[in-house]
Amino acid sequence: MGKISGVVVEVTKLTDRISSLTIAATDGVPLPSWQPGAHVEFDVTDGARAYSLVSFDPVPKLPTSYQIAVQREDKGQGGSVAMHSLTVGDAISFGPPKNDFPVNSDAPAVFVAGGIGVTPLISMAAAVRAAGQEFAFHYSGRSAGAMAYPATLFEQWGDAFHLHCDDSETALDLNALVASVGDAHLYVCGPRGLLDAVRGKAEVANIPTERVHFELFEAASVQVDDAAFEVQINDGSVFTIPPGKSIIDVLEENDVDVMYDCQRGDCGICQCDVLEGTPDHRDVVLSQAERDAGDVIQICVSRAKSARLVLDI
Ligand code: FES
């Protein structure tokens, strides 16, 4: 399916930095249906930005609009600032919905959201609730005033909703949270620190990995001390990966075909075997044991601690 021409039909300021945007098709026809957890890539000036679709009710078969919530990142690459500059009546084009974070609505669930990572989990929890399954929704952030939708979520879900604010005594207790999972599925979305912490606790508590689902909600960041390194592939070609570019960026520029999807380090599709060298893991896919073993790498985000990596590509 090609690009869809859309128009902004509503903008609501949720917090100082978060706005909700409602977008419909320019010609008023229904939009493609979507599954809870899905996102849409919107075209902004310097590329595409993905935002999860928000629905507090089961997703209609023929939606007439999409709702997203955008947090303005003033130090980001400009996409969120461009989205925040949109007003009612502005045109925006976007791709069809895509779902990398499906929910099993036939099983009980515990949802853990960090900050703006709440967005995909809302429709997922709504689906679990509509299917009559038990669920708990934990939403963690710095303060209630800086978080999207807390009052609406409490109104919708009552006691199933738990707000955890770092500036109060309600801060998220991961040990208690993991202990409460039982036979439920655990869904986590938010920044890397939260994902790593929840996954670490889930591993210690022996929650099977098939019941732990996660999506990273932050762009891969450039670290100040990132240095260039070399990557050698199976035909002997050697490429230099400079700071600010991923291994995938450089391989694609040189017409080397690689498979990838999320480009955030959370889907595992781009994983390659490391034949020589030491990876600097920046993903959220690998367990600590896999990171320590160092024999695979997610080439969308991870870099090298050694001068060269020899990869099975
Ligand atoms: S593309 Fe998803 S982990 Fe690399």
Which of 246, 260, 291 maximizes ligand 1 atoms within 8 Å of its Cβ, making it the mutation to test the pocket?
Answer: 260
Domain 229-311 has CATH 1.10.3720.10: no
Predicted pLDDT at 49: 83
pLDDT 10s per residue in the chain (313 long)? 789 999 999 999 999 999 999 999 999 899 999 999 999 999 987 667 889 999 999 998 899 999 999 998 776 666 788 899 999 999 999 999 999 899 999 999 999 999 999 999 999 999 999 999 999 999 999 888 999 999 999 999 999 999 999 877 888 999 999 999 999 999 999 988 898 899 999 999 999 999 999 988 765 444 557 889 999 999 999 999 998 889 999 999 999 999 888 888 888 899 999 999 999 998 888 888 888 999 999 999 999 999 999 999 9
Ligand 1 lined by 298 (C-beta under 6 Å): yes
Q: What are phi and psi of 65, to 5 degrees?
A: -155, 165
Fill in the DSSP letter of residue 220. P
H or E segment to which residue 45 belongs = none
CATH topology of domain 4-94: Elongation Factor Tu (Ef-tu); domain 3 (2.40.30)
CA 104 to centroid of ligand 1, rounded, Å: 22
**How far, in Å, CA of 195 to CA of 202, rounded?**
10
CA 284 to centroid of ligand 1, rounded, Å: 9
Q: Which atom of ligand 1 is nearest to the CA of 283?
A: 3
CA 219 to centroid of ligand 1, rounded, Å: 12
Q: What b/e sequence results for 237-264 when a residue is b if at least 16 CB atoms lie within 10 Å of its CB, and e otherwise?
A: eeeebeeeebbbebbeeeebebebebbb
Ligand 1 lined by 218 (C-beta under 6 Å): no
Ligand 1 lined by 283 (C-beta under 6 Å): yes
Cβ 125 vs Cβ 112: under 8 Å = no
Q: Which atom of ligand 1 is nearest to the CA of 260?
A: 1
**How far, in Å, CA of 22 to CA of 265, rounded?**
29
Q: 247: alpha, beta or left, given left = phi > 0 and alpha = psi -120 to 50? A: alpha
Q: Which atom of ligand 1 is nearest to the CA of 299?
A: 4
**From the candidate CATH numbers 3.90.180.10, 3.10.580.10, 3.40.640.10, 3.40.50.80, the one assigned to the domain spanning 109-216:** 3.40.50.80
Q: What b/e sequence results for 53-62 when a residue is b if at least 16 CB atoms lie within 10 Å of its CB, and e otherwise?
A: bbbbeebeee
Domain positions in the chain = 4-94, 109-216, 229-311
Q: Do β-strands 271-276 and 296-298 pair in parallel, antiparallel, or remain unpaired? A: antiparallel
**How far, in Å, CA of 123 to CA of 99, rounded?**
12
**How far, in Å, CA of 105 to CA of 127, rounded?**
6
pTM for this model (two decimals): 0.80
DSSP for 149-165 reads: SHHHHHHHHGGGEEEEE
CA 238 to centroid of ligand 1, rounded, Å: 22
